[in-house]
Amino acid sequence: MMTDRLANGKKVLQEVDGAAAVNVMESLKDIAPDIGKYILEFAFSDIYSRSGLDLKQREMITITSLLTQGDTAGQLKVHINGSLNVGLTKTEIVETFIHCIPYVGFPKVLNAITVAKQVFKERA
């Protein structure tokens, strides 16, 4: 069961984050390898693999959650890339952020837009 969760988590993370997935796992290997395992088994195998939402919906929720927390630019960058990888458009990402203005305010939305602008430029 545990190896199935790990393998499934790797598969889903690869689908969402592509090459970035390898970088994240490598960056944790020497200091906190268990966190990488938790990300794969729990977040991507147990949560991302549930039925009821597709990967586009899950990534939209993820970028919204990261925006609302603030101070998550690194993770936001990864998941904006992931959002594009699973089919969200630049317009859908920006509109998701704009929709949050009444609930979290301009500063957090502007910070997220800044990260999105950087990701869009890097991917152009």
> CA–CA separation, 81 vs 92, rounded Å?
13
Q: How many CA atoms lie within 13 A of 109 on its CB side?
A: 14
- Residue range 57-101, pLDDT digits in tens: 999 999 999 999 999 999 999 999 999 999 999 999 999 999 999
pTM of the model: 0.91
> 81 is in which domain, residue-wise?
53-124
**Does 94 share its domain with 62?**
yes
Same domain, 71 and 114: yes
Contacts of 83 (CB under 8 A, 6+ apart): 56, 59, 60, 62, 63, 92, 93
Shared-domain flag, residues 38 and 69: no
Residue 50 near residue 104, CB atoms below 8 Å: no
| 59 contacts 79 by C-beta, under 8 angstroms | yes
Q: In this structure, are 120 and 82 located in the same domain?
A: yes
Tell me: do 2 and 23 sit in the same domain: yes
Could you tell me the two tokens for 77? 């960058």
The answer on 97 and 86 residing in a single domain is yes
The answer to whether 3 touches 40, Cβ cutoff 8 Å, is no
pLDDT above 70 for 1? no
- Residues 36 and 57 both lie in one domain: no
Q: Are residues 35 and 64 in the same domain?
A: no
What is the tally of structural domains in the chain? 2
How confident is the prediction for the chain on average, in pLDDT? Answer: 93
Residues 68, 44 share a domain: no
